[in-house]
Amino acid sequence: QQQVKQSPQSLIVQKGGISIINCAYENTAFDYFPWYQQFPGKGPALLIAIRPDVSEKKEGRFTISFNKSAKQFSLHIMDSQPGDSATYFCAATPDSGGSNYKLTFGKGTLLTVNP
Amino acid sequence: DAGITQSPRHKVTETGTPVTLRCHQTENHRYMYWYRQDPGHGLRLIHYSYGVKDTDKGEVSDGYSVSRSKTEDFLLTLESATSSQTSVYFCAISDLRASSTDTQYFGPGTRLTVL
């Protein structure tokens, strides 16, 4: 069964700190790993994504680290801000022809950044 | 929300009644999806569509049916609602023609309560 295991379930960080969320997968056919950010009352929105040909991808304060041999990937939020408080989902898919349908999601991490 | 609307946004119904949720897109995207989101379970795929009149089951399809008679509309039907179907339902779309950002775009969600 395709699974993506995400931890922790919840995370509290002080403003300016580093938030780290981890995900692990088992299906070696997965080759596209997006992270989604969801604010209360809204739908999830793509935050950043990585393919396994690179070990790290950075966009502003958000970085994905990818370890193919360990089948793990993580999201790092540097200089965390109260506005980053949201639920974060990792996901994975075998990227069949670029359609990335049938994403498998982790169960989510509720991040709270205290001012 | 990338030209995606969901209706209704909120609904309260009674056990045993039929319920239809509508997803409407203005992006002319080929793929459409229905997810449910529950605490502790993240996002789980119910059904998806890869074209007009082409649909397939997802992870949690029991008790749900879908229809897509035109590109822009994807309907989710609960034939006889049960309390276990109380959830937040999200529609998503994606497009093979998206080149640099292969991703799913999510609608604002429908909160369904089955009493």
B11-43 tens-digit pLDDT: 999 999 999 999 999 999 888 999 999 988 889
Residues contacting residue B87 through CB under 8 Å, at least 6 positions apart:
B36, B37, B38, B112
Query: How many beta-carbon pairs under 8 angstroms link A with B?
Result: 66
pLDDT at A51: 86
Whether residue B97 has pLDDT greater than 60:
no
Amino acid at site A50: I
Pick from A6, A44, A101: CB nearest B31: A101
Whether residue B98 has pLDDT greater than 80:
no
Instruction: Give the residue from chain A lying closest to B105, CA to CA.
Output: A45
A97 touches chain B (CB under 8 A): yes
Interface touch B90/A105, C-beta < 8 Å = no
B64 touches chain A (CB under 8 A): no
B74 touches chain A (CB under 8 A): no
Q: What is the DSSP letter of B1?
A: -
Reading chain A (115 residues) residue by residue, the pLDDT tens digits are 558 999 999 999 999 999 999 999 998 888 889 999 999 999 999 999 998 888 999 999 999 999 999 999 999 999 999 999 999 999 988 765 544 467 889 999 999 999 9
Which residues in chain B have their CB less than 8 angstroms from residue A39's CB? Answer: none
Residues contacting residue B8 through CB under 8 Å, at least 6 positions apart:
B21, B110
Count of alpha carbons within 13 angstroms of residue A85, beta-carbon side: 11
pLDDT at A75: 98
- Mean pLDDT for B44-68 is 93
Whether residue B69 has pLDDT greater than 60:
yes
Interface touch A101/B94, C-beta < 8 Å = yes
A109 touches chain B (CB under 8 A): no
Q: In A1-115, which ranges are E strands? A: 4-7, 10-14, 19-25, 33-38, 45-50, 56-59, 62-67, 72-77, 86-92, 104-105, 109-114
**Do residues B64 and B34 touch, judged by C-beta distance below 8 A?**
yes
With H, G, I as helix, E, B as strand and everything else as coil, classify residue A82.
Answer: helix
pLDDT at B99: 44
